[in-house]
Every structure is written in structure tokens, then in C-alpha cells.
Structure 1
Amino acid sequence: MVDPTNEEKLLLTQITELAERSLHEQQPLWTDFLDPSQLEQVKAVLAWNNGVRFRVFGGYSKAERQRLVVYPDYYIAEAIEPALGYLQIVSNSPEELTHRDFLGSILALGLKREKIGDLLVTGSVCQVILVPELVPFILSHLERVGNSRVKTAEIEPEQLNLPDIREKEIRTTVASLRLDALAALGFGESRTKMAREIRAERLKVNWKPVKNPDQLVSPGDVISMRGRGRVVFREQTGTSKKGRLGVVLVRQL
């Protein structure tokens, strides 16, 4: 079992304190945005806290980054309104802007990543889910993304352009469950190139940075690569007569 990092220990301490405050103040209290790995850790901690319950909100059903609200178990859950804000950023420039461009310009205003949820980028339009208290600030201060001038407006959640997630199933065999082997198959690259990408820390497993190509992965793990999406190791299907391991990968496009 891998020992938690200092950041993980701090997060779990903060969640425990948040649950205690919620009981003491008798009201719902919110976290910032958490990635899926953090959410799983937080849920495990809260499962042992008597007297509190929790819900998660990310703006839409497939949201990757979500806020968690913890509340006393006697509180009416349906009365809790999602503490989320929504912005739309539109560029009139022919220059193609990416998720990184939009996020970088937002963070350059001095904001922290944990205050920002998912960014939905379609062409020259970026829709941002964020903590509501930052909406007025970004409306007043965000004028450019890269070299492009932009217009920013507040929108309703019903106006989100939800992503159409396409999947490609890959059934194959591997000599071992090394990260570089499965990532190479999932992303359609050579194993040598994938090993370089891993050492350059361009990949994550379960939303945690990795740098060892020989790290072993397990069914259920999510391998993500900067700018390339993600691959889910869905299942291991057995062993061939030659000793190779059958695997099922799902590439999310």
C-alpha cells in the first residue's frame, strides 16, 4: 500500500475538519473542486464520519472535477443548491485556442486551480464551471486569451455545450502490465516514445503524475496523457498459451 503524500494528508485533515464544522454550525459546507482521485480519498474518509452525509456537484453528469458538499445527516439534501458558477468566453480571432490557452489565461489572473472546475472548449468558445464568487472578478478582468481578445459572459447551466464522449475498445495481449506497454497500445504510439513521454511527466495514472515507465497498472486504472485524452484499463481477460496477458482498453476520444 502506498503511503499518502503530504498533500493528501493535508486534504484529508481539511475534510475531517470540514465535517466537524458542518455538524457544529448545522449547515452544509463546500470543498473546492476536487479531481477524481481526491474525491475517492475524501469519500473514504467521510464514510467513517458519523452524523454527516455528502453530495458532489460538477455542473453536469460526466464532470471530471467536482465540488463536494458535506452536511448533517438530518439536513434535507434536496434543499442544497449547487454552489457553482458558469461563464462563457468567446474569441473572435481566427487563431485556434486550446484548453491550455483558456485555463492558463484564467490562472494568470492570480486564481488557484482548485477554484476552477471543468472547461468545455468548442472551437473559439470556452465554457467554464467555477466557484460562484469568482464570476464577477473574471467578468471584469479577463480581456485576452493568448494574443486574442475575448468577450466573457455569465451563462446558465442549461446553456452548457456538453461533450460528446466517443470510445474505442482495444482488445489485445501484452507481455506485462507495465504502464509504457498499455499506454503505447491505448494511444497508438511506440513503446519507446511512450516511455519518453512518461519520463517527461506528461502522463497521469488515476489523475496522479507518474514518471516510471515500468510502473504496473491494474484493471480500473485511468491513464491520461496531456493533450491526448485518456485510456481506461477496463479488464484483464486471462493468459494465452504463450504467457501473454489479455487486456481490454477503452480509449476515450
Structure 2
Amino acid sequence: MSIYDHYRKEEHVFVDQVINWKDQVIERYSPKLTDFLDLREQKIMSTIIGNQSECIAAFFGGRENSERKRALIYPNYYSPMDEDFSLAAFNLSYAVKFHSLSHRQVLGTLMSLGMTRAKFGDILLKDDVIQIIVAEEIAVFVQNNLNSIGKSPIKLERITFNELVEIEDDWQSRHGTISSLRLDVLISEFYHISRQKAQALIKAEHVKVNQKIIDSTSFICGEGDLLSVKGFGRGMLLSIDGMSKKEKWRIQYGVKK
């Protein structure tokens, strides 16, 4: 069986990239730092790198519960530190009395700067506080060019990771048994709705998997996939724990509003 048989066709390019990074670290005996990876990409990298004696993969996104993280692949002699991940964190100051900013607005403005999503980590919102985590190599550019969001002027103040706001990890962890790993089946299980309603949501393009709209009800999900369903919140397929005696998939998943 080929390694590609374990992954979706559209993931093969990333699989090749991880294999290439791994080979570089082993051949050159020096660390390799990646851009920010989403949860699914982190899972793929962890699976491919594994617990090899020649190289190891570590992840850091600025705080313990970060969703988006940079990966450092390093030889076994190396002891990585937070500084090796080259991250920068900013607090966004704005007139909170006159403006209310959303995650979507912040992300949209960041993307309008001409950078790829892979250069930006988590966006943290708590009460009136907005903070962003970015790759160090674009920190100065972001600070010089991110001057407003919508109609709200903003000012960026660089902060330490210790100053990042605490976002409660309100994922509700659950176990389930499902007939297949199809997207409509998972949505039905996650949110306790009928498969027909789940299929309608998918066909209406109200469902994203790893931030990409998926309109196929038969899309097969894997460990680490992050689902966003309009009106229902987010769900994450944490692990696939094998088949039951009745040939159904045992899974662990998390949901939050």
C-alpha cells in the first residue's frame, strides 16, 4: 500500500512536501521551520514524521491551545525553544466605543495585505481585546501596513506570548459510533440532526472543512479535520478508534458553538 492511499488526492502535494522536509533535515542534519499549519496538516505531519530516531516534529503557535501552529522538524540532537518558531504577537488597539470588529473582518483585512493564510496564526478575540499571531518574517510589514479594519483605525502594539489573552477551551469532547466517515454522517452525529438536514446544509455551501467550502455530501473526513457549519458552530474529528463488532467506526470528536 502506498503512503498516498492514506490521504486525499488534494493532500498529496503537502504529503510530498513533508517527505521532502524530512529528507532535508536528515541529510543536512539541521532544523526546518514551516509556515503555519492547520489541524489537519499538523496531523499529517505527525503521522509521516512519527517518532523517528533521526528527526522529530514539534509544533508551536504562541500559546498552548493554539489551533494554527508552525512546525519545526529537527534532528534528535537538537532541543527546540519557543524562539525557534519565529512568531510575533500583536495587540490591536481601536475605538471600542464606536466600532465592533469580528474575526472575519480581521482575517479579511490581513489577507488583503497580500500574504497567504500560511503566514498568519490564530486571531484571538475576547471581550474588546483583539490579538493576532503572525510569522516573524512579516511582522514589520504587518505593523507598518495594517492601519485600519473596515472603518475603524487601528494601532498595533507588539506583545509577548505571556500577554496573550486566555481563551477558554470550550470544546465538548464526545465519543460516537457511526456508519461511515462521510461528511453528512459526521455532521448528523456532531449536531444531532438528520442526515437529510446535514445534506441540505452541505449542498447550500454552509459547511467548511479546514476553512474550505465543501459541497459534496460524500466527502470523506479524516483525523484532525475541522468542520464549520453555519448556525451550528464548529466540530473537530479528534480520532478514529477503529471498527466495532457491528462494523461501525468508533470516533472521538469535539464540538463548540
TM-score for the superposition, normalised by structure 1: 0.77
My pick for the range that moved more, 209-218 or 88-97, is: 209-218
Name the residue aligned to 1:144: 148
Q: 2-side partners of 1:102 and 1:9: how far apart?
A: 31
- Which amino acid is the alignment partner of residue 82 of structure 1? F
Matched, 1:32 2:35: yes
Q: Residues 50-104 of structure 1, C-alpha deviation per residue, up to 9 Å, x if partnerless?
A: 6211211111111111111011112234596332111111221533211110011
The one of 224, 227, 231 equivalent to 1:223 is 227
Give structure 1 stretches of 5+ with no counterpart.
240-244
Q: Secondary structure at the match of 2:142?
A: helix
38, 42, 45: which one pairs with 2:45?
42
**Residue 12 in 1 paired to residue 23 in 2?**
no
* Letter aligned with residue 98 of structure 1: S
Aligned residue for 1:10, secondary structure, equals helix
Deviation digits for residues 187-235 of structure 1, max 9, x if unmatched?
4767655433312433244666532335576898653325753235689
Classify the secondary structure of the residue corresponding to 1:59: coil
Superposed CA offset, 1:90-142 (max 9, x none): 22153321111001101101111001111111244321111111111111111
Q: Is this contact kept in 1: 2:43–2:223, CA < 8 A?
A: no
2:67 pairs with 1:59: no
Distance 1:188 1:104, change over 3 A: farther
Aligned residue for 2:41, secondary structure, equals helix
Worse-superposed segment, 156-165 or 48-57: 48-57
Alignment length (residue pairs): 249
Deviates more, 1:22-31 or 1:115-124: 22-31
Aligned position for 2:200: 196
Aligned residue for 2:165? 161
Alignment of 1:89-238 (within 5 A): 89-93=92-96, 94-168=98-172, 179-180=183-184, 182-183=186-187, 186-187=190-191, 194-205=198-209, 209-213=213-217, 222-225=226-229, 228-232=232-236
CA distance in 2, matches of 1:224, 1:168: 15
- Distance (Å, rounded) in 1 between the aligned partners of 2:136 and 2:183: 38
**1:163 partner letter:** I
Cα distance change, pair 78–101 in 1 and its aligned pair in 2 (3 A) = closer
The secondary structure found in structure 2 opposite 1:81 is helix
Please name the residue that 1:71 is paired with. 74
1:9 and 1:215, CA in 2 relative to 1: closer, same or farther beyond 3 A?
closer
Structure 2 alignment gaps of length 5 or more: none
What fraction of aligned residue pairs are identical, expressed as a percent? 26
Q: What residue is the counterpart of 1:242 in the other structure?
A: none
Inter-partner Cα distance in structure 2 for 1:69 and 1:88: 25
Over 3 Å counting, the alpha-carbon distance change for 1:220 and 1:54 in structure 2 is closer
Q: Distance in 2 between matches of 1:175 and 1:28?
A: 42
CA drift of 1:154 comes to: 0.7
